[in-house]
Amino acid sequence: MLHFERWKIILVALVCFAGFAYSAPNFFPKDSLTDMPAGLPDKQVNLGLDLRGGSYLLLEVDIDAVMKDRLQSLVGDIRKALRDESIRYTGLGVKGDVATVRVTDPAQLDKAMQQIRDLSTLVGGGGFSATPTRDIEVTNQGNLISVKVTEAARLARQRSAMQQSIEIVRRRIDALGTTEPVIQQQGADRILVQVPGLKDPENLKNLLGQTAKLTFRLVNNSASAQQAMQAGSVPAGSEILYMQDNDKQPVLVERQVMVGGDHLTDAQPGFDSRTGEPVVNFRFDSTGARLFGDVTKNNVNRPFAIVLDGKVISAPVIREPITGGQGQISGSFTVAEANNLAILLRAGALPAPLQILEERTVGPGLGADSIAAGEIASLIGFAAVIIFMAMTYGFFGVLANVALIINVALIMGVLSLLQATLTLPGIAGIVLTIGMAVDANVLIYERIREELKAGKSVIASLEAGYSRALSTILDANITTLIAAIVLFQLGSGPVRGFAVTLAIGVVTSVFTAFTVNRLFVATWYQRRRPKTLNL
Amino acid sequence: MRHLKLIPSDTKIPFIKFRHVAVGISVLLIIASAALTMMRGLNFGIDFEGGILLEVATDGPADIGGLRTKLGSLGLGEVQIQEFGEANDVLIRVQTPDEGGDAASQAVIDKIKGALGEGVDYRRVEVVGPQVSGELIQSGVTAVILAIILMLIYIWFRFEWQFSLGSVLALVHDVALTIGVFSFLQLDFSLQTIAAILTIIGYSMNDTVVVYDRIRENLRKYKRMDLGELVDLSINETLSRTVMTSGTTLLALFALYIFGGEVLRDFTFAMIFGILVGTYSSIFIASPLLLYIGVKRDWSGTGDAKVQQAKG
């Protein structure tokens, strides 16, 4: 146990040296690390949101809304298909998760079924089956036809909605210009967003809370909105929407969309050249420009509505055909609102609304206080343990303390190297590790004391102390490691940070307390060859 | 140079003699904890109950009574306000609205911010919806049970089923008492508490394993010694280590409790309590339980050859 091969000594020394080297960057200001020569460690520990301040959001994509949209557009397709073939029908609509329609003439049933079946497309097999399947399933009960979206199609749509949502969330957050946001999928329908160091977390939620579905539609001129509401009958193909800045003022808007927001190629905040009020300038792609040009040409002097998420932003009158593919949205915005709208329009619409399930925002003040408190607590805990060990075991206690210092360096080094996240409970994990790390040395030293008392020679006692304590040390530490791994599986954010430091600490403390400390003792013994031990 | 010795080297404390008393007291405490938890309940944090939590720093010392009337008139349901560490630091907790999802929660936060006006610093804002809090309870309970089962299996592999059963009963004891004290003091029971309980499970097991290891070693060494005497001997031989390790760990934790800030206080308290209970249970519960359960006396069999080798 006390004999070390030369290569082993070199290896242990290298590991310790690497620990110090990789933990070193944490003691320098971050700015000074950018011009470190290549190859030298320059990574600092990644601080968690609870230490650096920032927002943690758990979002849920409303997949049900996506499926409802899908059914609605399916109904539209069925209507068109049946009309094109002059098939008469009644009761076309959505019931639960199926679209239903009743064919009036039984003789036309087969033809209708065929028409609807022709609407289906193939989707790649989701999950384990690789064979493509139809996206809809058409069945009938007498004259009543039911159309159901297949499970494979549902999964495919869910996957694409998730990908699209993540992409759009990323674009919106990137527009805020924050550094190192984390955006990742969690489970089937959730998105985890972590944005460090945010000055205005409210604005982040504003940006993520909107679907940002923009449409340009004509205003129905045949009746005023008030008349339609009083009469209680809204003309077919139109709907009542309200102004964004005044939810009492209704506008009668055609359902037919002239141009959708998906045809925008750019949107920038700006100011109106005449009134000087904040506006958003936008540009259509070529298709959008052509569509917009055609509609405006045919509807000069009619008002049209710019609709965002079911609210009318503004309803200007078309003075002349707009063919250049450019335009301006004004809607008594503040500068910040215009800025946000431009971001939303550039990033595109979400396929479904996002619901915030969980939000944790820590201000920079609390984060800085937590770091300071954590530092003080670690230093005091560290000092207390070191003094206690030196008092109890004298010279051997000092050797254990050196191993303990190396241990802390290794923990910091591993955290920096892995770029694991250090949280406030993570700091607690380090402090706890400092307290528990000496356990292995205590086990060994107590064992050596016992062997000495039993009358063994110094060298025999040392040998026995290290070898007998090993299996106990391993058993005892594996139990803590098991607890840390379970905790890692359970936790997210701060708690997971605790599990990480605890697990790293268990591994490094066994190494330093058993191997590094043993190397010290062995070297000391070979130099001195003492006849007695003061332990 | 004389060294500090917390425990004299040749203790012969008859721990086993106290086993009926110790186990009796512990059973009573477990029953009391269970009763308390059922009757008085736990003070669940928003992690497990859902809700909105704001940590607010005011300019001067906070006027808690004034805040209470101010926020109470907003019609937000029950508003809990408490001082948090410093005199100008306040925790405000309200429930999430039953309907309206995150938009409604946001409206509540806006109302509170409006009522508090300018000049306050929002140090922390947390909103946990009912869906997530339900999942967190489930995964917390699962984690604790899973950890205990894994310990059971590990000790079974390394020792014998009797040891495994004894150590796990001691774990259940530690967990029950920790939950009991949280109910008694009505401390905030959160995800952090679950983390603390898992750490306690790891630590208590660690402590128990060290004593069990010695018992196993002595079972080989003293084939004819009375089991009670042997357990006593083993506990006494490892007592110095047990006290030392608990001592250093508690030193570190007390530093954290006093200087680590308000956010960690309940978390650290749980660990300090757990380590005291865990140390007690390894000596007074886990080891004496072996006497009730009984152990295999013949350890010369082949099943243990591996351990022997590792030690040789």
For position A331, what pLDDT does the model report?
A: 80
pLDDT at B278 over 90: yes
For residue A17, name the pLDDT band (cuts at 50, 70, 90): very high
Q: What is the mean pLDDT of residues B139-160?
A: 91
What is the layout of strands, in order, in the sheet containing B86-94? A182-186, A190-196, A54-61, A354-362, B121-128, B51-57, B86-94, B79-84
Q: Is residue A393 part of a domain?
A: yes
> Which among B195, B203, B207 is the nearest to A491, CB-wise?
B195
Q: Is residue B30 part of a domain?
A: yes
Neighbours of A65 (CB within 10 A): 16
> Percentage of chain B surpassing pLDDT 70?
95
Put simply, the answer to whether B191 touches A491 (Cβ < 8 Å) is: yes
Do B74 and B149 have their domain in common?
no
Q: Is residue B3 part of a domain?
A: no
Put simply, the answer to whether B4 touches A483 (Cβ < 8 Å) is: no
Do B251 and B186 have their domain in common?
yes
Q: Is residue B311 part of a domain?
A: no
Do A432 and A494 have their domain in common?
yes
| Per-residue pLDDT reduced to its tens digit, B202-234 | 899 989 999 999 999 999 999 889 999 999 999
Do A414 and A502 have their domain in common?
yes
Nearest Cα neighbor of A56 from A496, A502, A504, A499 is A496
Residue A53 three-state SS: coil
Do A377 and A505 have their domain in common?
yes
Residue A318, domain extent:
212-333
For position B309, what pLDDT does the model report?
A: 40
Residue at which a domain ends, from B67, B102, B128:
B128
Interface test with B, best of A59, A359, A500 (most B CBs within 10 A): A359
Put simply, the answer to whether A425 touches B264 (Cβ < 8 Å) is: yes
Beta-carbon contacts of residue B135 (< 8 Å; ≥ 6 apart): none
Q: Is residue B271 part of a domain?
A: yes
Put simply, the answer to whether B260 touches A377 (Cβ < 8 Å) is: yes
> Which among B195, B241, B261 is the nearest to A487, CB-wise?
B195
Residue B110, domain extent:
51-128
Least confident of A114-118, A177-181, A258-262, A354-358: A177-181
Shortest distance, CA A446 to any CA of chain B (angstroms): 6
Do B84 and B65 have their domain in common?
yes
Q: What is the mean pLDDT of residues A41-63?
A: 89
Put simply, the answer to whether B102 touches A357 (Cβ < 8 Å) is: yes
pLDDT at B173 over 90: yes
Q: Which residue of A has its CA nearest to B148?
A: A483
For position A28, what pLDDT does the model report?
A: 83
Q: What is the mean pLDDT of residues A15-28?
A: 90
For position B306, what pLDDT does the model report?
A: 41
Q: Which residues of B touch A61 (CB under 8 A)?
A: none
Put simply, the answer to whether A480 touches B205 (Cβ < 8 Å) is: yes
Q: What is the mean pLDDT of residues A439-453?
A: 91
| Per-residue pLDDT reduced to its tens digit, A370-410 | 999 999 999 999 999 999 999 999 999 999 999 999 999 99
Residue B157 three-state SS: helix
For position A378, what pLDDT does the model report?
A: 93
Q: What is the mean pLDDT of residues A207-232?
A: 83
Do A314 and A440 have their domain in common?
no
Q: Is residue A451 part of a domain?
A: yes
Neighbours of B243 (CB within 10 A): 14
Nearest Cα neighbor of B256 from B310, B209, B192 is B192
| Per-residue pLDDT reduced to its tens digit, A458-505 | 999 999 999 989 988 998 899 889 989 998 887 766 788 888 999 999
Q: How many domains does chain A have?
A: 3
Shortest distance, CA A453 to any CA of chain B (angstroms): 9
> Which among A358, A359, A374 is the nearest to B260, CB-wise?
A374
Do B137 and B123 have their domain in common?
no
Shortest distance, CA B253 to any CA of chain A (angstroms): 6
- Whose tokens are 């995800």? That residue is B191
Do A84 and A225 have their domain in common?
no
Q: Which amino acid is at A286?
A: S
Put simply, the answer to whether B192 touches A425 (Cβ < 8 Å) is: yes
| Whether A388 contacts chain B with CB within 8 A | yes
8 A C-beta contact, residue A194 and residue A54: yes
CATH number of the domain encompassing residue A142 = 3.30.1360
Do A107 and A229 have their domain in common?
no
Do A297 and A421 have their domain in common?
no
Q: Which residue of A has its CA nearest to B239?
A: A446
Do B230 and B183 have their domain in common?
yes
For residue A435, name the pLDDT band (cuts at 50, 70, 90): confident
Nearest Cα neighbor of A99 from A110, A88, A108, A91 is A91
Least confident of A213-227, A332-346, B192-206, B278-292: A213-227
For residue B302, name the pLDDT band (cuts at 50, 70, 90): very low
| Whether A188 contacts chain B with CB within 8 A | no
Do B193 and B246 have their domain in common?
yes
pLDDT at B238 over 60: yes
For residue A328, name the pLDDT band (cuts at 50, 70, 90): confident
Residue at which a domain ends, from A132, A150, A168:
A150
Instruction: Find the helix or strand (DSSP H, E) in which A145 lies.
Output: strand A144-149
For residue B303, name the pLDDT band (cuts at 50, 70, 90): very low
CATH number of the domain encompassing residue A219 = 3.30.1360.200
Q: Which residue of A has its CA nearest to B207?
A: A476
Shortest distance, CA A230 to any CA of chain B (angstroms): 29
Q: How many domains does chain B have?
A: 2
Do A324 and A377 have their domain in common?
no
What is the layout of strands, in order, in the sheet containing A326-329? A264-271, A278-284, A326-329
Shortest distance, CA B28 to any CA of chain A (angstroms): 27
Q: Is residue A435 part of a domain?
A: yes
For position A330, what pLDDT does the model report?
A: 84
For position A406, what pLDDT does the model report?
A: 95
Do A240 and A277 have their domain in common?
yes
pTM (2 d.p.): 0.84
Q: Which amino acid is at B40?
A: R
Residue at which a domain ends, from A105, A129, A150:
A150
Residue at which a domain ends, from A124, A150, A176:
A150
For position A124, what pLDDT does the model report?
A: 66
Do A493 and A372 have their domain in common?
yes
Interface test with A, best of B109, B251, B269 (most A CBs within 10 A): B251
pLDDT at A338 over 60: yes
8 A C-beta contact, residue B237 and residue A431: no
| Whether A473 contacts chain B with CB within 8 A | no
Q: Is residue B190 part of a domain?
A: yes
Do A380 and A509 have their domain in common?
yes
- Phi, psi at residue A356, to the nearest 5°? -85, 115
CATH number of the domain encompassing residue B202 = 1.20.1640.10
Q: Is residue A253 part of a domain?
A: yes
Do B150 and B280 have their domain in common?
yes
pLDDT at A234 over 80: no
d(CA A228, CA A222): 10
Q: Is residue B114 part of a domain?
A: yes
* ipTM score: 0.86
Do B119 and B28 have their domain in common?
no
CATH number of the domain encompassing residue B62 = 3.30.70.3400
Do B189 and B239 have their domain in common?
yes
* Residue of A401 and B7 predicted with greater confidence: A401
Q: Which residue of B has its CA nearest to A384?
A: B251
8 A C-beta contact, residue A331 and residue A315: no
Q: Which residue of B has its CA nearest to A492?
A: B191
Do A400 and A499 have their domain in common?
yes
d(CA B161, CA B295): 9
Residue at which a domain ends, from B128, B162, B177:
B128
Whole-Å CA distances, A237 to A6, A101, A233: 87, 20, 12
Q: Is residue A452 part of a domain?
A: yes
For residue B1, name the pLDDT band (cuts at 50, 70, 90): low
Q: Which residue of B has its CA nearest to A203?
A: B106
pLDDT at B296 over 80: no
Nearest Cα neighbor of A476 from B276, B149, B205, B281 is B205
pLDDT at B37 over 90: yes
Could you tell me which residues are beta bridge partners of residue A480?
none
Do B93 and B154 have their domain in common?
no
Do B153 and B234 have their domain in common?
yes
Nearest Cα neighbor of B85 from B62, B67, B66 is B62
For residue B311, name the pLDDT band (cuts at 50, 70, 90): very low
Q: Which long-range contacts (CB under 8 A, 24 or more apart) does A478-482 make?
A: A478/B154, A479/B151, A479/B154, A479/B202, A479/B205, A479/B206, A479/B209, A480/A436, A480/A506, A480/B199, A480/B202, A480/B203, A480/B205, A480/B206, A481/A506, A481/A507, A481/B202, A482/B147, A482/B150, A482/B151, A482/B154, A482/B202
Q: Which residue of B has its CA nearest to A209?
A: B103
pLDDT at B284 over 80: yes
For position B39, what pLDDT does the model report?
A: 93
Interface of A with B in 251-280 (CB under 8 A): none
8 A C-beta contact, residue A315 and residue A303: yes
Q: Which residues of A touch B247 (CB under 8 A)?
A: 388
Shortest distance, CA A253 to any CA of chain B (angstroms): 26
Put simply, the answer to whether A366 touches B123 (Cβ < 8 Å) is: yes
Average per-residue pLDDT for chain A: 87
Residue at which a domain ends, from B128, B163, B182:
B128
> Which among A393, A470, A486 is the nearest to B3, CB-wise?
A393
Q: Is residue B273 part of a domain?
A: yes
Q: Which residues of A touch B250 (CB under 8 A)?
A: 435
Q: Is residue A324 part of a domain?
A: yes
Q: Which residues of B touch A441 (CB under 8 A)?
A: none
Average per-residue pLDDT for chain B: 88
| Whether A353 contacts chain B with CB within 8 A | no
Residue B298 three-state SS: coil
Q: Is residue A174 part of a domain?
A: no
For residue A247, name the pLDDT band (cuts at 50, 70, 90): confident
Do B67 and B194 have their domain in common?
no
